[in-house]
């Protein structure tokens, strides 16, 4: 659909604070309570950020408030696993959407593979595939890689990591199931530890937007100029984000927003608009699919206003044709 007539389609002039004010009254949804740190999140937090190809990063109020990245880390773990296995990760993990919850105790029938890298089973496996002779080495490699995506050294919230590990019964169950199927080659506890420590990395909306932009721009960080992953890896990751990144809401997301994205139970959404920019929104109250309510709405609005929908030309044509038919009748 075309940009709204009252808003600039230039991301450098786009009023992110006005967008934030527009979505703030939407108080629907529930804050995740799977661990105490998430349950204590401020439901009124809302931050929006854009990261542009020239390295400029723009953010609204609230865009510098830190939070644990949680499931928004999954595309980046997948990218690192693809690099470190020379693409073998594509054979170890499926890439099809499931239509089920992100933590469903389910593997592919006949193969024992996780259905895709954006659900917990797939992310646990990708975390086990990054380089390292033991769990400590894999954790360190993942941390370096995530920091390269961010363009700065990231910190880990140790309390989040500890509680994710202690209270993540379904993650442990998934890891043991993959061990039983012969899919997971490291110890189940080690695989979960590597995954939850990645989920416990602290970011803010501005940093997460830079990470999204690094994928959107073919693997090159727009702030540092560093090539973090090959363009082919970025293409693979963004493609899977488009089909699986918002779990069983991915189809609705792509129709309404049209930008590959990954949601998170911390209320964060990272978006990668191919060749254009990266974006991030954080607001903890979640809908039934585990996606930020305000984040979904904000993403839909700025995607429309900035013409980011991957099928923007077709959306515009649909609106044009509808208008023409109405004027002819």
Structure tokens at 223: 């702030």
Instruction: Tell me whether residue 120 is annotated as binding.
Output: yes
Instruction: Tell me whether residue 293 is annotated as binding.
Output: no
Instruction: Tell me whether residue 155 is annotated as binding.
Output: no
Instruction: Tell me whether residue 247 is annotated as binding.
Output: yes
Name residues whose C-beta falls within 8 Å of residue 18's C-beta, 6 or more positions apart in sequence.
none
Instruction: Tell me whether residue 28 is annotated as binding.
Output: no
Structure tokens at 180: 């039983």
Instruction: Tell me whether residue 320 is annotated as binding.
Output: no
Instruction: Tell me whether residue 4 is annotated as binding.
Output: no
Which residues line the annotated binding site for substrate? 71, 120, 164, 171, 195, 247, 265
Binding site, annotated residues? 71, 120, 164, 171, 195, 247, 265
């Amino acid at each position: 659909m075309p940009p709204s007539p009252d808003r600039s389609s230039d991301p450098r002039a786009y009023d992110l604070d006005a967008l934030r004010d527009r979505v703030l009254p939407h108080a629907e949804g529930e804050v995740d309570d799977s661990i105490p740190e998430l349950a204590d999140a401020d439901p009124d937090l809302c931050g929006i950020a854009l990261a542009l190809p020239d390295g400029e990063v723009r953010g609204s109020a609230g865009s510098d408030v830190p939070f644990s990245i949680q499931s928004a880390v999954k595309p980046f773990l997948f990218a690192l696993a693809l690099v470190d296995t020379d693409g073998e990760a594509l054979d170890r993990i499926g890439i099809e959407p499931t239509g089920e919850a992100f933590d469903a105790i389910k593997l592919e029938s006949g193969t024992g593979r996780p259905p895709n890298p954006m659900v917990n089973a797939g992310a646990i496996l990708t975390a086990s595939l990054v380089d390292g002779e033991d769990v400590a080495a894999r954790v360190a490699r993942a941390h370096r890689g995530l920091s390269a995506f961010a363009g700065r050294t990231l910190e880990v919230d140790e309390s989040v990591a500890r509680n994710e590990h202690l209270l993540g019964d379904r993650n442990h169950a998934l890891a043991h199931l993959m061990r039983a199927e012969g899919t997971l080659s490291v110890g189940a506890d080690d695989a979960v530890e590597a995954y939850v420590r990645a989920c416990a990395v602290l970011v803010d909306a501005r940093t997460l937007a830079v990470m999204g932009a690094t994928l959107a721009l073919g693997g090159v960080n727009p702030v540092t100029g560093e090539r973090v992953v090959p363009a082919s890896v970025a293409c693979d990751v963004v493609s899977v984000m488009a089909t699986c990144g918002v779990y069983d809401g991915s189809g609705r997301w792509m129709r309404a927003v049209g930008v590959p994205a990954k949601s998170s139970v911390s209320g964060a959404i990272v978006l990668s608009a191919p060749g254009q920019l990266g974006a991030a929104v954080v607001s903890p109250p979640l809908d039934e699919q585990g996606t930020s309510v305000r984040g979904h709405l904000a993403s839909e609005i700025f995607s429309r206003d900035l013409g980011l929908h991957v099928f923007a030309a077709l959306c515009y044509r649909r609106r044009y044709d509808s208008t023409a038919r109405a004027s002819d009748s």
